[in-house]
A and B are shown apart, each in its own frame.
Chain A
Amino acid sequence: AQKVTQAQTEISVVEKEDVTLDCVYETRDTTYYLFWYKQPPSGELVFLIRRNSFDEQNEISGRYSWNFQKSTSSFNFTITASQVVDSAVYFCALLRFSNTGKLIFGQGTTLQVKP
């Protein structure tokens, strides 16, 4: 069975703090993809990153970084020096390699960044 768990329901930080959003996934597949999406209050889903299971290199994009660890089935997302505009719901998602487009989403983590 495929499953994504985001144990943190809500996180509140003060601007400029670093924050890490956790994502743990379950799959029996050896090849798969992991995603992070941002959902601001306006409701749309904004793609942040896609990672395939063969690439465990951590990635940094500006203030965002991702830590993929296959050994612990985790794909955590860190925002450095958080800003109020980072306030949103963040979803982690899993896609089987053989399954085109059927994403399995986690429950989401609501991040509130206070000024």
Chain B
Amino acid sequence: EPEVTQTPSHQVTQMGQEVILRCVPISNHLYFYWYRQILGQKVEFLVSFYNNEISEKSEIFDDQFSVERPDGSNFTLKIRSTKLEDSAMYFCASISTSGYTGELFFGEGSRLTVL
């Protein structure tokens, strides 16, 4: 069964450091997403990405965040200068087509701890 893979599974960093979370979406998928879940809270949408550009972003996704698809397979989320409140589980997701016809595939998550 195809799957979305994320690395690292857990990263600990110091406040102010840059962090890059990596995702490999399912190969024939066209739409990519990052979601965030602060411990004990609900899952929140961060950003969607299609055709090499951001299609939508939430209020959480401020100038400290950026996404890119540097090659044909990876999809990355960068946090330029981490804050304590960035500590969360970050989920990557992808789907194949527009208009939504199926399941949104989530990766297993990357847990970020900012000290």
Please list the residues of chain A having a beta carbon within 8 angstroms of any beta carbon in chain B.
33, 35, 37, 42-45, 47, 50, 91, 93, 95, 97, 99-108
Q: What 1/0 flags go to B13-47 for Cβ under 8 Å of A? A: 00000000000000000010101000001111100
Q: What 1/0 flags go to B97-115 for Cβ under 8 Å of A? A: 0111011111111010000
Chain A: minimal CB distance from B57 (Å): 10
Q: How far is the CA of A22 from the CA of B1 in the complex (A)?
A: 30
Could you tell me if B41 and A101 are in contact, using CB atoms closer than 8 angstroms?
A: no
Asked whether B93 is an interface residue with its Cβ less than 8 Å from the other chain, the reply is yes
Chain A: minimal CB distance from B24 (Å): 15
Could you tell me if B31 and A100 are in contact, using CB atoms closer than 8 angstroms?
A: yes
Q: Which of chain B's residues have a CB closer than 8 A to the CB of A47? A: 103-106
Most buried by B among A45, A93, A107: A45
Q: How far is the CA of A104 from the CA of B95 in the complex (A)?
A: 16
